[in-house]
Structure 1
Amino acid sequence: MNFMTEAMAQAAFWIVVGLTLAGAVIAVFPRNIVYNVLGLVLALTGVAGLYVFLGSMFIGLMQLLIYVGAICVAIVFAIMLSRPLHLEVPQRKLPKVLLAAMASCLFAIALIGVSLRTAWKPAAERGTDWSVATIGELLLTRYDLVFEVISLVLLVAILGAIVTAGFSRRLTS
């Protein structure tokens, strides 16, 4: 019985990983913004599932509420601020595509390197209290700079969407 439960948990884990990766691919490759956003929703939901598998129900739920919930707002921003879908999409310039591919590969290599060099331990072995009160205290004391940087990144993303929309509207009118 224990083997069957473990096999089902492994299968569920790999399904969540597959959905996360599929969502990431859908978020990156289609040229339609609606498909990109829906792929991002799928990828972020998969990441929330991975948090649940890691034993952090609170972080998984916050992932769903904050990121996946905020994606609904991003969809509204994207549709309101982007070029109308009936207009022709401009051709991508090869140097920009190559530069983006190189930056992505560099980031992936760095991420894989950090992941391989890190000694991963389950939270239970570390003896850390992962209660909501402890997480809240850490976010407002030890990790307050990270918390503020995340809010600045979101602000820059919103401003970038507004500037990009204004630029694309000037080109189409």
Structure 2
Amino acid sequence: MDNSIWMVAAFYLLSAVIIVSALLVVFLKNIVHSVLWLAVCFIALAGLFLTLDADFLAAVQVLVYAGAVCIMVVFGIMLIQRGDMGKTNLFNSQTGVAAGVVALVLVVSGYLSAATHWVGTAAPVPHKTVEHIATLLLSKYVIPFEVAALLLLVALVGAIILAKEVKAKC
């Protein structure tokens, strides 16, 4: 079979996984299960980036979102320490308003997609994108890269100290 057929099949399969897992994130009543489905959604999105030859974005998606963000949400859930986790993600009274906003966004997105003149050929994708980004990060942008890492470390230590103080008061 042709390689493009596999890419189209992977696109539709990953898109279906993303949509189903995103709906499960919203509609499940257990917040821990919602976070697990959020991780599935993020990993499927990374797979979608791989079909677009965006390997660096796929790696960042898995490391930052599926790894760090989901783990931080689980830590937040563990710090709350609710007795019964079965109904921690209850619906609120704004479901109708949210459904209307989502419908409006879908209609506008569909209209803009239909009205856009799509170019038949795509620009060539540079190979070894991670190598180029790494070279820039570790040469030209090394100072901002290290400052961002230091700020993240300070934020993490501050969050741990705040969590310990809250725990001690209880």
**One fold, TM greater than 0.5?**
yes
- Alpha-carbon distance change, 121 to 31 in structure 1, aligned in 2, over 3 angstroms: farther
Tell me, in whole angstroms, the C-alpha distance in 1 between the residues paired with 2:56 and 2:119: 19
The residue number in structure 1 matching 2:15 is 17
Matched, 1:126 2:120: no
Superposition deviation, residue 38 in structure 1:
1.1
* Equivalence for 1:79: 78
CA shift for structure 1 position 89: 5.8
2-side partners of 1:108 and 1:135: how far apart?
37
- Equivalent positions of 1:15-164 (< 5 A) are 15-70=13-68, 71-81=70-80, 83-85=82-84, 92-94=91-93, 96-118=94-116, 125-127=122-124, 129=126, 131-132=129-130, 133=132
**CA distance, structure 1, for counterparts of residue 96 and residue 114 of structure 2:** 27
SS in 2 for 1:27: helix
Determine helix, strand or coil for the equivalent of 2:53. Answer: coil
Q: Tell me the CA shift for residue 125 of structure 1.
A: 3.4
Q: Deviation at 1:63?
A: 0.7
Aligned-pair distance for 1:119? 5.0
Distance 1:104 1:80, change over 3 A: farther
1:43 corresponds to which letter in structure 2? C
Structure 1 residue 8 displacement after superposition: 3.6
Cross-structure match for 2:152: none
Q: Deviations over 1:71-111 (max 9, x none)?
A: 122222133236432586697454x2222222222333344
- AA of the residue aligned to 1:53: T
Tell me the distance in 2 between the aligned counterparts of 1:58 and 1:90: 33
Q: What SS class does the counterpart of residue 122 from structure 2 fall into? A: helix
Whole-angstrom CA distance in 1 between matches of 2:108 and 2:31: 28
CA distance, structure 1, for counterparts of residue 46 and residue 89 of structure 2: 35
- AA aligned opposite 2:20: A
Mean Cα displacement is larger for which, 55-64 or 126-135? 126-135
Instruction: Give the paired residue count.
Output: 143
Distance 2:77 2:99 in 1: 23
**Pairwise CA RMSD:** 4.0
Contact 2:49 2:57 in 1 (8 A): yes
Identity among equivalent pairs (%): 22
- Structure 1 unaligned segments of length 5 or more: list them: 142-147, 149-154, 167-173
